[in-house]
Structure 1
Amino acid sequence: MTESSPAAVLIPNLLWRTLHWPCWAFCRTWLRVNCSGLENLDNTRGGMLLVNHQSFLDPLLAAMWLTRPVSYLARDSLFRVPVLGWLLRRTYAMPISREAARGGSIRLAVERMDQGFLIGIFPEGTRSSGTEVRDFRPGFLAMVRRTNQPVYPVGIAGADRVMPRGAWFIRPGKIQVVYGAPFTPEEMAGLQSGDDAAFCELARQRVSECVALAERQMKGEPVGISKGH
């Protein structure tokens, strides 16, 4: 099962479509990736995915079930690397630098969401392992404050086992991705109060719940998907 196309028609470019299906096939066969909670995503709007970070595979794992592009932030220096920069631009990545982080990248991310794109963010800023989700860095809050699009917690389990820190090869394994219910208006109102630390912890808890659920589903335990708090 995959997500329906958003009503705000997004037709991915040829390169994205060419890469998407081989990557999907690899993830389904070699990594045995499964997902749950796609029904939580509003396919008529853009939005933001807050994802835990276990391995370099995470951007692919969080996006493979979706039929519209997910835009990720990448260091601006990578866009100056021959071939890699070309590839990043055509797969909807967005450059970010210390200067751009003050405004330019935020505006671009908000514009992308308004166009129907999903923006992928890894708020931990570094990789974790198992069901551990590290404290969230507050840099993503500026984007959350400037958008009216939904924000979703996403949990990935198993990626740290198929490609642990320092590994050069991807091991066969099993991975589960859980898309959680969007943050409620009441939860979002808490962010507007200016308590950044409280919202970061709330967001970390919501993502942690998705990771724990993904871990249980990966083990075959019969569990359901939360429809909200």
Structure 2
Amino acid sequence: MFLYRLFRGMFRILYRFVYRWEIIGLENVPLQGGVILCSNHKNNLDPPFIASPIQRQVHFMAKEELFKIPVISYLVKQFGAYPVKRGMSDKGALKKSLQILKEGKVLGIFPEGTRSKDGKLGKPYPGAALFALKSEAAVIPTAVIGDWKMFQSMRVVYGKPINMTELRQQKVTSALTEEASGKIMKEIQQLIDEYS
């Protein structure tokens, strides 16, 4: 946790002075209980960008390959990351994610699963929706806004929690997961449209 706080402070300085960091809606992120931060994905710097304003530690999935590199593996573990196998359904990562939420922690996830090449929202994978449906965590739509050019403004916007109550009362099916995914992505897009 010490290393996490140390690097969080370093990233705060980097973003504030190099990218003119602007934080909007931080009050929408609960201070307690499970939270899912669902964000668009534009750059490799996105994870610490959306996590650094929050006093709580944010856990992210990271590609399995990183955990095979000794020093990198140690660091990403200290940052609260855990491995996920790309290109396939990873039940272990799914179970770990739900456990994080059950323990009342914060999970950061990019529903698109990869960085957008044109800056536009892509088609979401079902993971974020599944976590939202199978947990009682607050689902916070999050938007990274800006072009990641040095000394130009970058914004991170946290929206109000998405009401998932009605969907959570239904049996989880592929159709319901798709509906939940659409709801999440719609909220993210609205933040992008409003604050760009």
1:40 pairs with 2:28 = yes
| 3-state SS in 2 of match to 1:83 | helix
User: What do residues 88-116 of structure 1 show as CA deviations (whole Å, max 9, x unaligned)?
Assistant: 11110011126994422122112222333
| 3-state SS in 2 of match to 1:151 | strand
Q: Give me the whole-angstrom Cα distance separating, in 2, the residues matched to 1:30 and 1:99.
A: 34
The residue that corresponds to 1:54 in the other structure is 42
- Normalized against structure 1, the TM-score is what? 0.77
The residue that corresponds to 1:200 in the other structure is 181
What amino acid does structure 1 have at the position aligned with 2:121? V
The residue that corresponds to 2:153 in the other structure is 174
The residue that corresponds to 1:27 in the other structure is 15
Single out whichever of 96-105 and 86-95 deviates more from structure 2: 96-105
Single out whichever of 40-49 and 95-104 deviates more from structure 2: 95-104
Q: Give me the whole-angstrom Cα distance separating, in 1, the residues matched to 2:142 and 2:96.
A: 22
CA contact 1:131–1:157 (8 Å) conserved in 2: no
The residue that corresponds to 1:225 in the other structure is none
CA contact 1:47–1:150 (8 Å) conserved in 2: yes
What amino acid does structure 1 have at the position aligned with 2:25? G
CA contact 2:31–2:56 (8 Å) conserved in 1: no
- Normalized against structure 2, the TM-score is what? 0.88
What amino acid does structure 1 have at the position aligned with 2:144? I
The residue that corresponds to 1:157 in the other structure is 145
Unaligned runs of 5+ in 2: none
| 3-state SS in 2 of match to 1:65 | coil
Query: Which aligned runs of 4 or more in structure 1 are off by greater than 6 angstroms?
Result: none
Q: Give me the whole-angstrom Cα distance separating, in 2, the residues matched to 1:63 and 1:38.
A: 11
Q: Give me the whole-angstrom Cα distance separating, in 2, the residues matched to 1:198 and 1:127.
A: 22
Single out whichever of 95-104 and 35-44 deviates more from structure 2: 95-104
Q: After TM superposition, give the deviation of residue 203 of structure 1 in Å.
A: 1.3
| 3-state SS in 1 of match to 2:59 | strand
Q: Give me the whole-angstrom Cα distance separating, in 2, the residues matched to 1:112 and 1:201.
A: 24
Larger RCO, structure (CA 8 Å, separation 6 or more): 2
| 3-state SS in 1 of match to 2:152 | coil
Q: Give me the whole-angstrom Cα distance separating, in 1, the residues matched to 2:95 and 2:130.
A: 10
What amino acid does structure 1 have at the position aligned with 2:19? L
| 3-state SS in 2 of match to 1:39 | helix
User: What do residues 43-91 of structure 1 show as CA deviations (whole Å, max 9, x unaligned)?
Assistant: 1212111100111111011111001111110112210112100101111
The residue that corresponds to 1:219 in the other structure is none
User: What do residues 114-134 of structure 1 show as CA deviations (whole Å, max 9, x unaligned)?
Assistant: 333211111112322676211
1:14 pairs with 2:5 = no
State the Cα RMSD in Å: 2.3
Task: Decide whether aligned partners of structure 1 residues 82 and 185 sit closer, same or farther in structure 2, where only a CA change above 3 A counts.
Answer: closer
1:183 pairs with 2:162 = yes
User: What do residues 20-60 of structure 1 show as CA deviations (whole Å, max 9, x unaligned)?
Assistant: 11110111111111111112122121211110011111101
Larger Rg: 1
Q: Give me the whole-angstrom Cα distance separating, in 1, the residues matched to 2:41 and 2:87.
A: 24
CA contact 2:84–2:90 (8 Å) conserved in 1: no
